[in-house]
């Protein structure tokens, strides 16, 4: 007997109903407005992640229930197939029993026909026997004794008696034989009826069993249809769970993009603030340096005025009228350098590799490097061509202007900004090359900073800098 798993079906049905309610809530979702702060967005992402985790747990449970439902349907299918096999066996048995019953019925009918024929034959034989006896009476005899007394002699008597005995014996045997045959037919008919009754009882039992199996089969089919409906519902819930997870993942992806946008905006704002602060610091530093330079230049001009006052033959020297600095320089034209320009270049090269330092006065104590004007001053001062330090603008005013075609080793190259103001100086060494403290700026204040940008005394092409240039030759240098 097959048992139905009604409790299991009820559990699956209740489970499916619970998930149907759960997912119906998700169907009511609406588009969200993105939050404006990273913390709010991160909180929303975390909430979505928690929801995704719950959904994945639910999806796992649904998957387990779906697998159970599939296994149960598989088991039901096997039961239905087995039940159908049992029903088919019973039907074949019923067909065999029906055939046997029909055969017995045919045999019974045939036997009954034979019984009827035998009875007719007996009736006919009895009629003959009666006719024979009637003939004996008609012939004048009243009995066997009369037949015997009519004998002519003893042998005739014996003959008559033997004849009567044979006739009587023959008739008796015939009647007994007919009765025996009739009894056999009746017994055969009775046996056939018993067999038929037994077969009909077996058939009734088989039909009852078939009806019972068919009822169980119908119940299995109903249970299969119900389980298949539950499996379909579980698959729908599984699809809904996957859809919810995909939707939440998409939401988190959009929120992550929003965080990236906010962080990028914050970075841009921070970078802008840093640049503005750096610009303010640079401007403040430039203002401080400008004031220091003005104070230094004022002090130098005062010292130069004192020197000029003590030398009547010195006249102010200012070849560039647009330069903002007014120097009163002594005239060294009476001093002539008698050495080789190559010596000046060779000595300048001894400073190669010294790092750039704003206002640096290497190798004086407290300085690790040189700036552009201190480098050219150090070289020219070594050969007696410049007695005291002047910045690039002062050196430009001090020199005699020359053209690029007149450049010789030892001459100075001055670089001007867009306003025409001198802001850098190097020394020409021939073959289209210059040597100088290159690559620095006011912000280079440490040796590590100079190293990081390769700011140092080095040789480069005269044309490596695209700024406007002018050229000058220090007094005393032919």
For 293-347, write each residue's pLDDT tens digit: 788 777 766 755 554 443 333 333 333 333 433 444 444 444 567 789 999 999 9
Taking alpha carbons only, the member of 425, 457, 426, 455 closest to residue 440 is: 455
pLDDT at residue 364, as a whole number: 83
For 195-249, write each residue's pLDDT tens digit: 989 998 998 999 999 999 999 999 999 999 999 899 999 999 989 999 999 999 9
Percent above pLDDT 70 for the chain: 75
Cβ-based neighbour number of residue 424 at 10 Å: 20
For 60-105, write each residue's pLDDT tens digit: 999 999 999 999 999 999 999 998 999 999 999 889 989 999 998 8
Percent above pLDDT 90 for the chain: 42
pLDDT at residue 475, as a whole number: 94
Taking alpha carbons only, the member of 3, 4, 5, 7 closest to residue 15 is: 7
Report the C-alpha gap between 23 and 21 in whole angstroms.
Answer: 6
pLDDT at residue 133, as a whole number: 59
**Burial (0-12, 13-18, 19+ Cβ within 10 Å), 20:** middle
- For 189-193, 309-313, 363-367, which range has the lowest pLDDT when averaged over its residues? 309-313
What is 346-373 written as a DSSP string? HHHHTTTTPBB-TT-BTTSTT-S-B-HH
Instruction: State the chain's mean pLDDT as an integer.
Output: 81
CA dihedral (454, 460, 463, 464) in degrees, to 10, reads -20
pLDDT at residue 318, as a whole number: 38
What residue spans define the domains of the chain?
A: 6-264, 316-473
Report the C-alpha gap between 412 and 399 in whole angstroms.
Answer: 8
Residue 349 has pLDDT above 70, yes or no: yes
- For 19-28, 35-44, 49-58, 441-450, which range has the lowest pLDDT when averaged over its residues? 19-28
Do the domains 6-264 and 316-473 sit in the same CATH topology, yes or no? no
Mean pLDDT of 114-128: 79
pLDDT band at 31 (very low <50, low <70, confident <90, very high): very low
pLDDT at residue 295, as a whole number: 84
Beta bridge partners of 414: 425, 470
Q: Which stretch of DSSP H or E encloses residue 253?
A: helix 154-310
pLDDT at residue 308, as a whole number: 41
pTM for the full model? Answer: 0.38
Using DSSP, state whether 334 is helix, strand or coil.
coil
Q: Which tokens belong to 474?
A: 């220090």
Select the CATH number that applies to the domain covering 6-264 from these four: 1.10.287, 1.10.20, 2.20.25, 2.60.40. Answer: 1.10.287
Fold (topology level) of 316-473:
endopeptidase fold (from Nostoc punctiforme) (3.90.1720)
Residue 26 has pLDDT above 50, yes or no: no
Rank 254-258, 365-369, 422-426 by mean pLDDT and report only the highest. 422-426
pLDDT at residue 275, as a whole number: 87
Q: Which tokens belong to 147?
A: 């037949």
Beta bridge partners of 456: 355, 438
Ranges of H-type helices in 326-467: 341-349, 372-382, 392-398, 447-452
pLDDT at residue 331, as a whole number: 45
pLDDT at residue 313, as a whole number: 37
> Strand 468-473 and strand 400-402: pairing?
antiparallel
């Amino acid at each position: 007997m097959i048992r139905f798993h009604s409790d299991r079906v009820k559990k699956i049905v209740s489970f499916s109903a619970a998930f149907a309610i759960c997912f119906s809530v998700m169907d009511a979702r609406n588009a969200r407005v993105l939050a404006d702060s990273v913390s709010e967005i991160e909180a929303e992402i975390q909430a979505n992640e928690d929801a995704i985790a719950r959904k994945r747990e639910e999806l796992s449970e649904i998957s387990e229930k779906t697998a159970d439902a599939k296994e149960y349907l598989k088991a039901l299918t096997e039961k239905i197939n087995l039940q159908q096999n049992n029903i088919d066996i019973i039907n074949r048995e019923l067909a065999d029993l029906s055939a046997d019953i029909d055969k017995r019925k045919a045999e019974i009918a045939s036997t009954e026909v034979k019984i009827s024929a035998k009875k007719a034959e007996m009736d006919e034989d009895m009629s003959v026997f009666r006719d024979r006896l009637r003939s004996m009476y008609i012939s004048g005899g009243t009995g066997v004794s009369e037949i015997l007394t009519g004998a002519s002699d003893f042998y005739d008597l014996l003959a008559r008696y033997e004849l009567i005995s044979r006739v009587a014996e023959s008739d008796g045997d015939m009647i007994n034989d007919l009765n025996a045959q009739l009894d056999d037919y009746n017994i055969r008919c009775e046996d056939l009826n018993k067999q038929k009754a037994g077969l009909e009882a077996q058939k009734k039992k088989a039909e009852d069993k078939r009806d019972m199996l068919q009822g169980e089969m119908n119940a299995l089919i109903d249970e299969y249809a119900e389980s298949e409906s539950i499996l379909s519902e579980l698959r729908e819930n599984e699809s809904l769970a996957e859809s919810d997870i995909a939707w939440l993942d998409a939401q988190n992806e959009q929120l992550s993009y929003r965080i990236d946008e906010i962080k990028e905006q914050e970075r841009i704002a921070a970078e802008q603030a840093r640049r503005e602060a750096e610009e303010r610091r640079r401007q403040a530093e430039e203002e401080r340096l400008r004031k220091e330079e003005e104070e230094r230049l004022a002090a130098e001009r005062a010292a130069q005025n004192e020197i000029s006052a003590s030398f009547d033959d010195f006249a102010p020297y200012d070849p560039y009228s647009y330069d903002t600095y007014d120097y009163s320089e002594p005239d060294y034209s009476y001093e002539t350098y008698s050495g080789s320009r190559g010596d000046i270049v060779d000595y300048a090269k001894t400073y190669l590799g010294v790092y750039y330092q704003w206002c640096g006065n290497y190798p004086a104590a407290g300085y690790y490097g040189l700036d552009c004007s201190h480098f050219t001053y150090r070289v020219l001062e070594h050969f007696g061509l410049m007695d005291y330090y002047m910045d690039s603008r002062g050196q430009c005013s001090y020199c005699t202007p020359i053209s690029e075609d007149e450049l010789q080793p030892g001459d100075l190259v001055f670089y001007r900004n867009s306003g025409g103001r001198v802001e850098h100086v190097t020394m020409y060494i021939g073959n289209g090359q210059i040597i100088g403290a290159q690559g620095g700026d006011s912000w280079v204040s440490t040796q590590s900073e100079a190293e990081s940008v390769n700011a140092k005394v080095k040789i480069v092409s005269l044309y490596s800098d695209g700024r406007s240039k002018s050229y000058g030759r220090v007094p005393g240098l032919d």
